Amino acid sequence: MGTRLLLTRHGQTVWHAENRYAGSSEVALTPEGHEQARRLGEAVATLPVTALYCSPQERARITAAPAAKTLGLEPVIVDDLREVHFGVMEGRTLDELRADDPEAARRFVADPVTGTFPGAEPAAEAARRGAAALTAIAGREDGPVLVVAHNTLLRLSLCALLGIPLRDYRTVLPGLRNAACTELEFRGGRAGLLRLNAGWDVG
């Protein structure tokens, strides 16, 4: 038997529309983000979820709260599920970086692993901690397990677990939708992707 992880990105934030990098910054949810969290809480009521894990950041904890109430579970906060720290890009857009430091923007677009933003957490380190956190959760729980975390952290972790080159995370996994489900199954110590960006129709 395997363990299923239901990976969910937090709800929409006030920086979403402008595509600003939130990273380690604390950014509020929009009204739509709160509605997405509410709908997530309703959707998981039909699933046999046995545990709920969450990033320590406020946008993830607020997104997880309705699901926690529905399921009667206390979220387990895991620090390694926090979003990647983006250094100089915190609160900024890629176009703003292009205007200030076009070479830094070019390096990142060409290869986000070797071209990490100045002052940012290296992508390889974020991928290792995220993949390790998800593997540890799968080893500890029978599942299904709801995990609420972040766009870049989850995409890097998925690449690390599925053998996708990290430099390709932005093209192979261009983005996880807010409050959608990406279903990952761990079986025999290996991870397999069951669904990506699915609606909450998983059974």
62 three-class SS = helix
| Residue ranges in the chain assigned as alpha helix (H) | 31-43, 58-71, 94-100, 102-110, 123-140, 151-162, 169-172
What sign does the dihedral 176-182-188-189 (CA atoms) show?
positive
DSSP single-letter state for residue 57: S
- Indicate if 42 belongs to the active site: no
- Active-site residue among 10, 121, 141, 150? 10
What sign does the dihedral 179-180-186-191 (CA atoms) show?
negative
Helix (H) or strand (E) holding 4, with range, is: strand 3-9
Which candidate, 11, 27, 26, 150, places its Cα nearest to that of 78?
150
Say which residue the tokens 């593997």 belong to: 135
Phi, then psi, of 73 in degrees rounded to 5:
-115, 145
**Is 195 labeled as ligand-binding?**
no
- Indicate if 150 belongs to the active site: no
Q: What does the block give as tokens for 163?
A: 């053998």
- Active-site residue among 42, 83, 96, 121? 83
Cβ–Cβ under 8 Å, residues 175 and 158: no
**Which residues belong to the annotated binding site for substrate?**
59
Binding site members? 59
Q: Which residues are catalytic?
A: 10, 83
